[in-house]
């Protein structure tokens, strides 16, 4: 087990001890927020996600415009059969 995993497990144990939950419950709660962000990102709509105590995850308007232009070019190429 790597150092990062050991630290993570120690944090989970500490939370479980303080809250009275099981390690599995704590891990599920902690990981759920990151699974949520992953789900939002995979939709490809570039929605802003705010996570309390961690901050706001957002795409800058200029970057969004660039990504949308790139996606439009890719879609046109797919439709026309160009690679």
| Domain spans, the chain | 3-43
Of the chain, the percentage scoring pLDDT greater than 70 comes to 96
- In whole angstroms, what is the distance from residue 17 CA to residue 65 CA? 47
Query: What phi, psi does 50 have (nearest 5°)?
Result: -110, 125
Q: 80 vs 33, 50, 60, 75, 76, CA distance in Å?
A: 40, 39, 30, 9, 6
Whether the pTM exceeds 0.85: the reply is: no
Q: 44 vs 11, 50, 76, CA distance in Å?
A: 32, 17, 18
Residue 1 pLDDT exceeds 60: no
Summarised one tens digit per residue, pLDDT across range 24-42 is 999 999 899 889 888 887 8
| Secondary structure (3-state) at 3 | helix
Q: What is the mean pLDDT of the chain?
A: 86
Q: What is the pLDDT of residue 14?
A: 95
Cα angle for residues 8, 59, 49 (degrees, 5° grid): 50
């Amino acid at each position: 087990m790597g150092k990062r995993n050991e630290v993570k497990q120690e944090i989970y144990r500490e939370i479980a001890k303080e809250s009275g939950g099981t390690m599995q419950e704590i891990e599920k709660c902690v990981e759920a927020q990151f699974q949520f962000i992953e789900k939002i990102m995979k939709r490809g709509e570039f929605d802003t996600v705010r996570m309390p105590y961690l901050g706001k995850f957002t795409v800058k308007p200029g970057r969004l415009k660039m990504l949308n232009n790139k996606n439009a070019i890719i879609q046109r190429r797919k439709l026309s059969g160009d690679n």
